[in-house]
Amino acid sequence: MITPWQDRSGRFYPFKAVVFAGLLLPGVWTAIAFGLGGLGALRLNAAIHLLGIWALRFLFLSLLITPAKEILHWARLVQVRRMVGVAAFAYALAHLLFYVAEQSFDVATVADEIFFRGFLTVGLAALLGLALLAATSTDKMMKKLGGRRWRRLHRLVYAIAVVATLHYLQQLMLGEREPIVMLGLLYWLLLYRLLGVTLAQGPLGLFSVVLMSIAAAVLTALTEASLISVASGVAFGRVLVLNFSLELGIRPAWIVALPGIILACAGIAPRYQALTGMKTPSASAVRPLSRRP
Amino acid sequence: MFVGRRPGWRLPDNDATPEAVFWSRREALALTASAGFSALARPQRSQAALPEYPPHTSRFGLSQPLTAEKYATSYNNYYEFDSGRARAPQAGSFKTKPWRVVIDGLVEEAQSFDLDDFLGKVPLEERLYRHRCVEGWAMAVPWIGFPLKVLVNLARPLGSAKYLRLESFMDPETAPGQKQFWYPWPYVEALTIAEADNELSFLVTGAYGKALLAQNGAPLRLATPWKYGFKSIKSIVRLSLTEERPITFWERQQPQEYGFWANVNPDVPHPRWSQAWERLLGTDERRPTKIWNGYGDYVASIYATLDKEPLFK
């Protein structure tokens, strides 16, 4: 059994320990704020929202591990992927438990609501999917299923991410930023994978990552404008041009473009070092695998 | 206005206001007396400036405890000031003094006056009302104000007037939410004349013994406690009597989810959630929603002949 702070060979792996602590942090913060009255007038409600949003963030983070590994040439990053995915499930489960608590543990009402309210049905579907992946995430299950079948099963995570984002978007208030940002990041994650298996037939180059990030941002802007214009009847173009003003703050599309571009810039360093054959300490930190026998 | 008669919605003394609330009102009045210093020392100056009103407090009551002031003043929907999720509208530069109010439309005598001048002439009273938001949360608040009909009758509505249209302020510079042009600003609400004339329809200028805070709809808001909260329009600048039924803000924005009547009913769910229960601010408690939010004895008769209308949407 490997603890959350050990690497595969059983040695203490500080990076993994930090990620583990980071995964616990939002939960601990929520629990403390809940207990001390920091969550406002409807603390159950606030906790539901916080746990749900962190579940989605961690789910996306688990999907970002492979692209980040490829862009940063950081193979050991994969060692935290399972932990991040299981954390997403844990937060989603807590999200549901707090909903049940908010309904005063009235299971009949909960079942009724999940059946009749579309967005709750969708949310439960995502949670069940995550439960399946969490249950099959152990080494034992991996061996039992066999690598090929296991990988195929765990590709389900992309569908789950789509369903979970839909669950979030179904409660969108027009003009609200974060749900649209999450949708845009989902575009980015899906595009990266899609292009990787089609056009690039392997990891994308840095320039492609930048272009793809811009494409994801444009797609986000178009989706946002469509949603608002369909829901309210205002002109599509009028919402779209908002992206070029600060009238209503920084628009989601810009936030969506950012992480991919930053990641691509960070990816220059390991490539440059590989090219020049430099072995600086930072290079070994970026590619620890190459150091190991 | 009432003279000795105690309407049934004023429950007797056994459910009196918690002492803390009563005393906070006393303190507010004391502050008014020494207003000079508070004007300089406190940014929320309007908080202290409320005309004297009789301590009716103990004559009002509820079948539930009052919501703590800190919750009623921090958990709000005020889309003019935030997108709705943050729940703590920042209304920093919002000026509520001077505040002009206009009554026009189908009236014999249109009026335009400064709210402070008017408040000096109308007797204020305190009422403990339940408030039920369409989103499923609820509170009980000691509002201070006067009956809506007092103001409406001032302008003497014509016989042809059938509806009262209420309009909120419009100032995107201080209310950034109004820059979201996909919403049909300014906020508009409306009542039938019968609803506006009902004794429960109350115009509010204060709460918890103080002048109303911006996030609660200062300086003048409506309270129609048998309807979902969005009917209780905030920061009113104009009241117009009309013959045609006005289209309200949410009705225009999302007609499939929000209608003109919006009376509280546990058995008619919102398309996205059940209305069977309500959550009380400041508690983890869930209680069953009451039809007409518990005020059926006073308002159900208004709707006796309107059974073909979607009264609960």
Chain B residues with CB-CB distance to A170 below 8 A:
272
Domain B13-303 has CATH 3.90.420.10: yes
Give the three-class secondary structure for B101.
Answer: strand
Contacts of A44 in chain B (CB under 8 A): 279, 284
The single-letter code of the amino acid at A216 is: A
User: Does any CB of chain A come closer than 8 Å to the CB of residue B137?
Assistant: yes
Cβ atoms of B310 and B256 within 8 Å: the answer is: no
The token pair that represents A99 in the structure block: 């909903």
Cβ <8 Å between A174 and B276: no
Selected for mutation to probe chain A from B70, B181, B250, B251 (highest A CB count within 10 Å) is B181
Residue of chain B with shortest Cα separation from A47: B284
Query: pLDDT means per 10 residues in chain A (293 residues)?
Result: 81 92 98 94 95 98 96 93 97 97 93 92 97 95 92 96 97 89 98 90 91 98 96 94 91 96 95 77 45 40
> Which residue is closest to B176 within chain A, CA to CA?
A248
pLDDT given for residue B33 in this prediction: 37
For residue A265, what are the contacts with CB-CB under 8 A and spacing of at least 6? none
**Tens digits of residue pLDDT in A241-258:** 999 998 888 999 999 999
Residues in chain B: 313
Q: Helix axis angle, A14-36 relative to A43-72, nearest 10°? A: 170
Residue from the list B179, B181, B286 with its beta carbon closest to the beta carbon of A103 = B286
Beta bridge partners of A12: A6
Q: Do B274 and A112 touch (CB under 8 A)?
A: yes
CA distance B313 to B310: 6
What is the C-alpha to C-alpha distance for residues A43 and A33, in angstroms, rounded to an integer?
Answer: 9
* Distance of residue A254 Cα from the nearest chain B Cα, in angstroms: 18
Long-range contacts of A61-64 (CB under 8 A, 24+ apart): A61/A88, A62/A88, A62/A157, A63/A157, A63/A158, A63/A161, A63/A189, A64/A189
Q: Kindly list the distances between the CA atom of residue A20 and the CA atoms of A24, A80, B313, in Å, as whole numbers in the listed order.
A: 6, 8, 48
Distance CA B308, CA B240 (A): 26
Any A CB within 8 A of B90 CB: no
Domain ranges of chain B: 13-303
Q: What are phi and psi of B173, to 5 degrees?
A: -70, -40
Q: For an interface test with B, which of A50, A229, A232 has the most B Cβ atoms less than 10 Å from its Cβ?
A: A232
pLDDT of residue B64: 79
pLDDT at position B90: 66
Q: Which residue has the tokens 């369909």?
A: A230
Task: State the 10-residue block means of pLDDT for chain B, 313 residues long.
Answer: 45 39 40 35 46 55 83 90 64 86 97 94 92 95 95 96 98 90 96 96 95 92 97 98 97 93 97 93 93 93 93 94
DSSP label at A138? S
CA distance B44 to B32: 13
A44 → closest Cβ in B176, B253, B284: B284
Q: Determine which helix (DSSP H) or strand (DSSP E) holds B129, and give its type and residue range.
A: strand B125-132
Q: Any idea what DSSP says for residue B81?
A: T
* Element counts in chain A: helices (H) and strands (E): 14, 0
pLDDT in tens, A35-48: 999 999 999 999 99
A128 CA: distance to closest CA in chain B (Å): 21
Question: How distant is the Cα of B36 from the closest Cα of chain A, in angstroms?
Answer: 34
Q: Does B273 touch chain A (CB under 8 A)?
A: yes
Q: What is the pLDDT of residue B21?
A: 41
What's chain A's Rg over C-alpha atoms?
21
Residues of A with CB under 8 A from a CB of B: 40-45, 49, 101-104, 106, 109, 112-113, 116-119, 170-171, 173-176, 228-229, 231-232, 234, 238-239, 247-248
Question: With contact defined as beta carbons under 8 Å apart, do B170 and B235 qualify?
Answer: no
Tell me, what's the pLDDT at B7?
52
Q: State the pLDDT at residue B76.
A: 86
Test mutation, B179, B182, B216, chain A, max A CBs within 10 A: B182
Q: Is B206 helix (H, G, I), strand (E, B) or coil?
A: strand
Note the pLDDT of residue B235. 96
**Cβ-Cβ contacts under 8 Å, B87 against chain A:** 40-41
For chain A, give the mean pLDDT: 91
Integer Cα distance of B35 and B47 in angstroms: 11
ipTM for this prediction: 0.84
Interface touch A40/B284, C-beta < 8 Å: no
DSSP per position, B23-58: HHHHHHHHHHHTHHHHHHH-S-GGGT--------GG
Q: Which chain A residues touch B83 with a CB distance below 8 Å? A: 173, 175-176
Sign of CA dihedral B148, B151, B157, B163: negative
The answer to whether residues B212 and B311 touch, using CB atoms and an 8 Å cutoff, is no
pLDDT at B24: 43
